[in-house]
Amino acid sequence: MSLQMELEHGRKALIVRLKGELDHHTADVVKSRMEDAIVSGDVRNVILSLRDLSFMDSSGLGVILGRYKQITAKGGKMVVCDVSPAVYRLFELSGLFKIVSVQENEKSAISSLEAV
Amino acid sequence: MSLQMELEHGRKALIVRLKGELDHHTADVVKSRMEDAIVSGDVRNVILSLRDLSFMDSSGLGVILGRYKQITAKGGKMVVCDVSPAVYRLFELSGLFKIVSVQENEKSAISSLEAV
Amino acid sequence: MSGANFMKLSFASRSENESFARVAVAAFVSQLDPTLNELTDIKTVVSEAVTNCIIHGYDNDPNGIVTIAAEIEGDTVRITVEDEGAGIADLEQARQPLYTSKPELERSGMGFTIMENFMDEVDVTSAPGAGTKIRMVKRIESKKALYN
Amino acid sequence: MSGANFMKLSFASRSENESFARVAVAAFVSQLDPTLNELTDIKTVVSEAVTNCIIHGYDNDPNGIVTIAAEIEGDTVRITVEDEGAGIADLEQARQPLYTSKPELERSGMGFTIMENFMDEVDVTSAPGAGTKIRMVKRIESKKALYN
Ligand SMILES: Nc1ncnc2c1ncn2[C@@H]1O[C@H](COP(=O)(O)OP(=O)(O)O)[C@@H](O)[C@H]1O
Ligand SMILES: Nc1ncnc2c1ncn2[C@@H]1O[C@H](COP(=O)(O)OP(=O)(O)O)[C@@H](O)[C@H]1O
C-alpha cells in the first residue's frame, strides 16, 4: 500500500500519523480508520501528523475536513502538524488553515490543546 | 541528467565513478568521456566504480566492454568495483565477469592493480 | 531535439491507477529538469484530473478508460486528461472553488481551483454524456533559468 | 478488484524516453507489491525492449512510435512492447546470446537473453518491414507468498 497509518491514543488526543501518499485511493482507509477510532474510542481531540506524508491532493483536504467536522461535532478539536509547504499551499487555497489549527510538530500540537 | 560522472586521474589508474542510471541514452556520454580520457591522458588502467549506479541494462554492458577493449589494446587493465547484485547478474549472464576483473571497492581495486 | 516529445497513456478507471498516472507524467516531465516544486505541482494536477475522471466521469465504475497525453516543446509541457464519461452540464459552476456535486463522498470541491492555481493555463471541454477533456499548460522555470 | 487492470502507453522513439518508459511500467506493476528485485527485473526488460525499438526498429529516428501495453491479472503481469519499424528477418539468430546486428554501436547482444532470463515467458512476433512485438509475462512472487 502507498499509505501507512499509525494511531496512538494519547491522554489529550488521538494522534494519527500518516506516511506515504494521501489521494482519493488511499483516503478511504484514512476515513474509515479515523472514523472508527473517533466513534468507538474515548477520543476528545485529534492530532494529525503529516510529517511523513510525501504527497497529498484535494482528496486529502476532503478527508481532513470530514474528520474535523466529526470531532468538532463531539465538542473536540483537531490539530494538524508537520505540514509540508506543498500541503500548506493546499490548506491556504482551500481556506482550511482558517478553521483547522496548524501546529509545527506533535509537541506543540499537544501543548496547544493543553493551553485551552 | 539521469547520469553523473566523476573522473579522477589516480597514480595507478583513471578512476571513473558513475552515479544514476546507465542505459542507452546515457551510455553515449560515458563512452565519449571515457574514450577521450583514455586516449588523451596518460592512462594505464581504468577503475570503474558503480557504487552509486541505481540502474543498468545491457547498454551498460556494451559501453563497459568497449572501454575494456580500448584499455587492454593499450596494454592496460580494467577493474570494475562496487557492483550491485543486479549488475553482477548482468555480468554473469553476459560472461563479462570472466574477462573484466571485479573488485569489492575502490581500495581493493587499486591494490589488485598494484599486486600485478 | 527535433520537434516535440510526446506520450499518450490510457488506463482503466480504477483508483489504484491515480498514483501510477501521476508518477508516469512526472517521469515524462522530468526530462525538462523541473524543480521539486514544479514536479509536485504537476503530480497534484494530474491526480486531481484523473481522480475527477474516475469519480465524476465514470461514477467509480472501473470499466471506463482515462487517457492522458503529454507533450514537451521547449520549456513548456502540455497535458490533457480525458474521460468518455458523464460530462459536465454547468462548467462555470463546476469550476467554482469549493463546489462539488458529491459532498457525500467528502469531496472538497478544490480540484479545478488547484489545477488553475498550479498550471499556467487550464481549459475544459465537456458536455453531458460526451465526456470531459482538460487541457493544461505549464512552463517549467528551471529550464528557462538555464537559458537566460 | 473485478477483472484485469491495464494500461497502454505510446511515446516518441527518443532515447530520453527509455527512462520514462521503465519508470512508468514499474509504477504500474508496483500495485502487485513486487520485491525490489522483481521491480528491477521489470525495469530492465522494459529498458531492453524499448531500446531495441528505438535503435533497431527505428534506426534511431526519433519520429517512430513505441507502444507498451501492460495488464495485471491476479499475481501475473503481461507486458508487450511494440514498434512499427524495420522488423527482424532471422528471429532465431536475433535471440542468440551476444548476437547483435549493430556491433559498431557497442551493443552487447544481450537484450533478448536478459528478457528471457528475467521474465517467465517471452514471445516475439516480427517480420521485415512490419515491426516487432515482444510479449512478456511474469508472475510476481511476493503477492503469491502472501496468499500461501
Ligand atoms: N471528469 C469529470 N466528469 C464529470 N464531472 C466532473 C469531472 N471533473 C469535474 N467534474 C464536476 O466538477 C465538480 C468540481 O470538480 P472539482 O473542483 O475537482 O471538485 P471535486 O472533485 O472535489 O468535486 C465536480 O464535483 C463534478 O461535478
Ligand atoms: N525491435 C527490434 N527491431 C528490429 N530488430 C530488432 C529489434 N529488437 C531486436 N532486434 C534485432 O535483434 C538483435 C539482438 O537484440 P538484442 O539481444 O537486444 O541485442 P542488441 O540490442 O544488443 O543488439 C539486434 O541486434 C537486432 O538485430
- Distant-in-sequence, close-in-space partners of C144: CB < 8 Å, separation ≥ 6: C75
Number of domains in chain C: 1
Asked if D114 lies within 8 A of B93 by C-beta distance, the reply is: yes
Site of grid cell 563479462 = B96
Asked whether residue C97 is assigned to any structural domain, the reply reads yes
Asked if D3 lies within 8 A of C27 by C-beta distance, the reply is: no
Answer whether residue C85 shows pLDDT above 50: yes
Asked if C19 lies within 8 A of D27 by C-beta distance, the reply is: yes
CA dihedral sign of residues A60, A63, A69, A71: negative
**Residues of D contacting chain B (CB within 8 angstroms):** 15-16, 18-19, 22, 37, 40, 43-44, 47-48, 51, 54-55, 97-98, 105-111, 113-114, 117
Asked whether residue C101 is assigned to any structural domain, the reply reads yes
Compute, in degrees rounded to 10, the torsion defined by CA atoms C87, C92, C93, C98.
Answer: 100
Q: How far is the CA of D21 from the centre of ligand 1 (A)?
A: 30
Among A23, A32, A34, the residue to mutate for chain C (most C Cβ within 10 A): A23
Phi-psi region of A90 (alpha: psi -120 to 50; beta: other; left: phi over 0): alpha
**Segment A69-97, tens digit of pLDDT:** 999 999 999 999 999 999 999 999 999 99
Q: How confident is the model at residue B42 (pLDDT cuts 50, 70, 90)?
A: confident
Asked whether residue D62 is assigned to any structural domain, the reply reads yes
Is the CB of residue C20 less than 8 Å from the CB of residue D12? Answer: no
- Distant-in-sequence, close-in-space partners of B33: CB < 8 Å, separation ≥ 6: B5, B7
Q: How far apart are CA D66 and CA D49, in angstroms?
A: 10
A47: which strand partners? A15, A79
Is the CB of residue A109 less than 8 Å from the CB of residue A81? Answer: yes
Q: How confident is the model at residue A114 (pLDDT cuts 50, 70, 90)?
A: confident
Which is more confidently placed, C132 or D141?
Answer: C132
- Which ranges constitute the DSSP H helices of B53-105? 58-73, 85-94, 96-99
Q: How confident is the model at residue B114 (pLDDT cuts 50, 70, 90)?
A: confident
**Segment C1-22, tens digit of pLDDT:** 457 899 999 999 999 999 999 9
D73: which strand partners? D76
pLDDT per residue of chain D (148 residues) written in tens, 0 to 9: 457 899 999 999 999 999 999 999 999 999 999 999 999 999 999 999 999 999 999 999 999 999 999 999 999 999 999 999 999 999 999 999 999 999 999 999 999 999 999 999 999 999 999 999 999 999 998 654 544 3
Site of grid cell 595507478 = B12
Give the predicted TM-score (pTM) of the model: 0.95
Asked whether residue D10 is assigned to any structural domain, the reply reads yes
Active site residue C48: yes
Tell me which ligand sits closest to the C-alpha of residue D99: 2
What is the arithmetic mean of pLDDT over A47-63?
A: 98
**Segment B55-86, tens digit of pLDDT:** 999 999 999 999 999 999 999 999 999 999 99
Active site residue C52: yes
Q: Mean pLDDT, chain B, as a whole number? A: 94
Between CA C59 and CA C69, with CA C65 as vertex, the angle to 5 degrees is 120
Nearest residue to A97 via CA among C38, C110, C55, C22: C110
Is the CB of residue C26 less than 8 Å from the CB of residue C68? Answer: no
Q: Compute CA D44 distance to the chain's CA centroid, rounded to the nearest angstrom.
A: 8
Please identify among residues 41-100 of chain D the ones whose CB lies closer than 8 Å to any CB of chain C.
62-63
B41 class by beta-carbon count within 10 Å (0-12 exposed, 13-18 middle, 19+ buried): exposed
User: Residue C50 corresponds to which cell in the numbers above?
Assistant: 484523473
Asked whether residue C148 is assigned to any structural domain, the reply reads no
Asked whether residue C98 is assigned to any structural domain, the reply reads yes
Secondary structure (H, E, C), chain C: CCCCEEEEEEEECCCCHHHHHHHHHHHHHHHHCCCHHHHHHHHHHHHHHHHHHHHHHCCCCCCCEEEEEEEEECCEEEEEEEECCCCCCCHHHHCCCCCCCCHHHCCCCCHHHHHHHHCCEEEEEECCCCCEEEEEEEECHHHHHHHC
Site of grid cell 522513439 = D13
**Residues of C contacting chain A (CB within 8 angstroms):** 15-16, 18-19, 22, 37, 40, 43-44, 47-48, 51, 54-55, 97-98, 105-111, 113-114, 117
Cα separation values, D106 from A113, B15, B60, C77, Å: 66, 21, 9, 34
CATH number of domain containing D73: 3.30.565.10
Q: How confident is the model at residue B40 (pLDDT cuts 50, 70, 90)?
A: confident
Q: How far apart are CA D9 and CA C147, in angstroms?
A: 31
Active site residue D14: no
Q: Which residues of D touch C63 (CB under 8 A)?
A: 3
Range of the domain at D135: 5-143
Task: Give the DSSP letter of residue D32.
Answer: G
